Amino acid sequence: MNLTKILEDLRRERQQIDEAIFSLERLASGAPRRGRPPGWLKEHKRRGRPPGSSKEKQVPIAKSAAGD
């Protein structure tokens, strides 16, 4: 059992947890943020038409039998 390797892993995990806590606290505080929102947050605040919809429905053009 390599104790130094275990300690390094635990310190790395603690740093990641601290960063996650810090970012969640910033989101919870409601303070204005600069730049684009994170991707997971942007999904919930989408504006405009839903994806795949368009202003006019596209109707397929019928082929003429005389053009063969």
Distance CA 26, CA 20 (A): 10
Distance CA 19, CA 33 (A): 17
Q: Looking at the predicted structure, is the pLDDT value of residue 67 above 60?
A: no
So where are the chain's domains?
A: 1-29
> Whole-prediction pTM value?
0.44
Per-residue pLDDT tens for 10-64?
999 999 999 999 988 888 887 776 777 767 666 555 666 766 776 666 666 666 6
Torsional sign, CA 4, 7, 13, 15:
negative
Tokens for 63?
């082929």
